[in-house]
Amino acid sequence: MSGHDDHPDVILCAGGPMLLRGDHVIEDADGTQHRTVRPISAVCRCGKSASQPWCDGTHKLIPKQRRP
């Protein structure tokens, strides 16, 4: 197995966010662009974060069946 397979750039967390390694610009549904500010960022997939487009942990408050 190559080292690459162990170290993905994008990780989909079950029931939670998408982790993104590296520097990216994300465009949200309104067309606003957000640049990542840390080495790894968590992008919200549940739609409930108050810090869109970033995850703020809110996904943990929704019932398990309704998480991403």
Partner 1 sequence: MLTPKGRGTLSETAFQAMRSSSPVWRDVLRTLPDDDDDLHITLWALHELHYRGFEDVDDALEWQPELIELRRSLEHSFEQTLRDRAPETWPDDPDFAETFFTFVADHDGPSLAGHVQRDADHEQVLELLRMRSIYHLKESDPTAWVVPRLPVRAKAALMELQFDEYGCGDPNRLHAALFARGMDECGLRPEYGAYIDDVPLEVLEENNAMSLFGLNRRLRGASLGHLAAFEVTSSIPSRRIAQGLTRLGLPAAMVEYYTEHVEADAVHEQLAVRTICGSLLDDEPQLRDDMFFGAFTCLDLEDRFARRMLEAWAA
Interface contacts to ligand FES, rule CB under 6 A: 16-17, 44-46, 48-49, 55-59
Chain centroid to CA 15: 11
| Shortest Å distance, C-beta 59 to ligand FES | 4
DSSP-H helix ranges across the chain: 3-6
Residue from 4, 61, 63, 65 binding partner 1 (CB under 8 A): 61
The count of chain residues that interact with partner 1, using the rule CB under 8 A, is 23
**CA–CA distance, 3 with 34 (Å, rounded to integer):** 30
| Shortest Å distance, C-beta 30 to partner 1 | 19
**CA–CA distance, 36 with 6 (Å, rounded to integer):** 23
